[in-house]
Amino acid sequence: MNFKPLKTEDLQLMHDMTLKILSETGAIVEGEEARDILLTAGCSKENGRLLFPVKLVEDSLGDPVSVTLYGVDENIVLPLTDAPRSYTHNFGSVSVLLDPESDRVREASVNDLVDFIKISDSLSHLDMVVPSLRPTDLPEEIASLAMPAYTLQYTSKPVDIGTASDVWETRYIIKLAAAIRGGLDKLVEKPMGTLSISPLSPLNFPADITGAIIESARSGLPVTMLPCPTRGLTAPITLAGGLVQQNAEQLAFLTLVRLVNRKTPLVYTCRLAAANMRTGFVGGKDPDQGYAGACVAQLASYYGLPSAVYGLDSGSVIPDIQSGYERAMNALYPMMAGATLVSGMGLLNGGLLASAEQLIIDDEIYSMLAHRQHGVEVNRDTIGAEVVRSVMDGGNYLAQEHTRDYLRKGEIHNGKLGNDAPYEEWFAAGGRSVREEARDRMQVIINQHQGKVVDESVSKELHSILEEAKAEKTR
């Protein structure tokens, strides 16, 4: 498919206006080392902000670095640069979930995190696992590290290794991931995922964040640039304005990274949201979310970078009809535009609430969206004129090799959830809803999962690193 919401002249204007914002308005950049790096490279100070020369930014955009991720099992390969299709991943850093038994919201535990990772590891259409739930039954000072530590033990897939908010977290996240690979050099050679770092909007890079950016860049590991502006609150209310401000935040981030280490791979990420302007709440009920993701897929491609965008999310607080139509629509746009990674599997309420049932339903939604992502193959064999003649001469389609062969190739989508039988058959079989089917499947997956995928010695090393981090933080 080829959905391109932005024209070539739109992309050029957005780029030009981004350079104007960075060179004339600038960004708040804190942290002595970051400021020294940027000032030495040609930035200037004005009104407490740093102004980025046009030439510096454009030079930083040159020669983007290719990105390929590998699973905890190194045989799993996920090329992000020139990706053959849109990949999916779940969500990160949510501390509350919808309990499938009580239908009430409760705090997440380590056991919940492990269950979510087991489910994510088992879903055939979920490509990269993000440390999802933030356990509240662990000391707060190591909760952000426990997320990747547990995730890396229970999945063979590529893993987004963590979200870092300062140098300390960055170092320990890298240490945990390196323990899986057997050293930092091996991790850089075959990274499992990216380090994600979020500046503040509008155009604000606090000292802890610039420290994390510099530390990540020096490691040589892939970095996800993760600004999260909100239209109407921390970005212009117009979609075009929000996209350009976000682009300016991306390119300021990129410039700093490339001044530190030009070989650091980068992922251009969109988390542009819209607020309910009556209440100020950002709840996910936003049909522009997927459209923004499609625009970002184009912007990222314009700069030669892979993209990661939101899609599978909803304003709903339960897996219901609203959740279904909102997330399907918001995932379809970026997939049609060729986004590299489509995020949000298992999220509800604008990213504030997690649901294991929704995670399983999202695997089904994505399988339907992906079924025709590459369009229709039209050739003599797929048209099958000879098959039509054979049937008209007295045969039937069920008996044709053509039917058998293309059925096995997946010509007709065959999902795992939902009903396609007459009402009487559905009712006689128990009349279960999709949500009930997902709940049953959730238990089967958790019960049948192999458990830890790493050796016990590696598991002990990860927990030793957590204890080391806890001791250092509480010293």
pLDDT band at 286 (very low <50, low <70, confident <90, very high): confident
- More confident site: 81 or 416: 81
Mean pLDDT of the chain: 94
Helix (H/G/I), strand (E/B), else coil: 106: strand
The predicted pLDDT at position 399 comes to 93
Average pLDDT over residues 365-378: 88
> CA 414 to CA 367: how far, in whole Å?
9
**51 & 73 share domain:** no
- Residue 1 pLDDT: 62
- Return d(Cα 41, Cα 327) in angstroms, integer: 43
> Are residue 182 and residue 46 in the same domain, yes or no?
no
197 & 334 share domain? yes
Q: Is the model's pLDDT at 337 over the cut of 90?
A: yes
Amino acid 2: pLDDT = 80
What is the pLDDT averaged over residues 403-407? 93
CATH of the domain at 75: 3.20.20.480
pLDDT tens sequence across 293-307? 999 999 999 999 999
Residue 344, pLDDT score:
93
Residue type for position 374: H
Asked if the bond preceding 202 is cis, omega within 30° of 0, the reply is: yes
Indicate if the pLDDT at residue 24 is higher than 80: yes
What is the mean predicted confidence (pLDDT) over 409-426? 90
Domain shared by 48 and 158, yes or no: no
Same domain? For 206 and 330 the reply is yes
Answer with the one of 43, 61, 79 that is the final residue of a domain: 61
Contact between residue 215 and residue 171 where contact means Cβ atoms under 8 Å apart: yes
**Two structure tokens written together for 460:** 């002990």
92, 196 contact by CB (below 8 A): yes
What distance in Å separates the CA atoms of residue 56 and residue 175, rounded to the nearest whole number?
A: 32
Asked if residue 192 is part of any domain, the answer here is yes
The DSSP symbol for 348 reads E
Q: Residue 414: its pLDDT value, please?
A: 86
Same structural domain, 141 and 52: no
- 80 and 57 belong to one structural domain: no
Question: What tokens does 191 get?
Answer: 């990274």
- In a 10 Å sphere around its CB, with 0-12 CB exposed, 13-18 middle and 19+ buried, how is residue 93 labelled? middle
In a domain, 101, yes or no: yes
Long-range Cβ contact pairs of 140-143 (< 8 A, separation 24 or more): 141/469, 141/470, 141/473, 141/474, 142/466, 142/469, 142/470, 142/473
**Domain range holding 53?**
8-61
- pLDDT (0 to 100) of residue 190: 97
The single-letter code of the amino acid at 451 is G
Q: Return the number of other C-beta atoms located less than 10 Å from residue 404's C-beta.
A: 11
Is it the case that residue 375 has pLDDT exceeding 90?
Answer: no
138-178 residue pLDDT tens:
998 899 999 999 999 999 999 999 999 999 999 999 999 99
In this structure, are 22 and 99 located in the same domain?
A: no
- Contact residues for 425 (Cβ-Cβ < 8 A; gap 6+): none
Of the pLDDT bands very low, low, confident and very high (cuts 50, 70, 90), residue 98 is very high
| Number of other CB atoms surrounding residue 207 within 10 Å | 16
Cα 122 to its chain centre, rounded Å, is 17
By three-state DSSP, how is residue 306 classified? coil
Overall number of domains in the chain? 2
| Shared-domain flag, residues 29 and 111 | no
Q: How far is Cα of residue 236 from the mean position of the Cα atoms in its chain? A: 24
Return the structure tokens found at 172.
Answer: 């320990």
Output the pLDDT for position 159: 96
For residues 438 and 111, is the Cβ–Cβ distance under 8 A?
no
**Residues 34 and 171 both lie in one domain:** no
**Measured distance CA(441)–CA(427) in Å, rounded:** 19
Distance, CA of 297 to CA of 310 (rounded, Å): 11
pLDDT, tens only, 174-232: 999 999 999 999 999 999 999 999 999 999 999 999 999 999 999 999 999 999 999 99
256 lies in the same domain as 118:
yes
Residue 294 counted as domain residue? yes
Cα–Cα distance for residue pair 256/210, rounded to 1 Å: 9
Strand partners, 267: 224
- pLDDT, residue 89, reads 94
DSSP string, 95-117: -EEE-TTT--EEE--HHHHHHHH
Residue 284's nearest CA partner among 321, 258, 257, 322 is 322
**Mean pLDDT of all residues in 79-87:** 95
pLDDT at position 475, please? Answer: 75
Contact 442, 357 (CB under 8 A): yes
Domain-located, residue 386: no
End position of a domain, from candidates 61, 79, 99: 61
Picking from 250, 242, 256, the residue whose alpha carbon sits closest to that of residue 289 is 242
User: Do 303 and 61 form a contact (C-beta atoms < 8 A)?
Assistant: yes
Residues 80 and 43 in one domain: no
Strand pairing class (347-348; 353-354)? antiparallel
Give the percent of the chain with pLDDT over 90: 87
For the segment 117-146, the average pLDDT, to the nearest whole number, is 94
- What percentage of the chain's residues is helix, strand, coil (to nearest 5)? 50, 15, 40
Q: Is residue 107 part of a domain?
A: yes
Is the residue at 269 inside a domain? yes
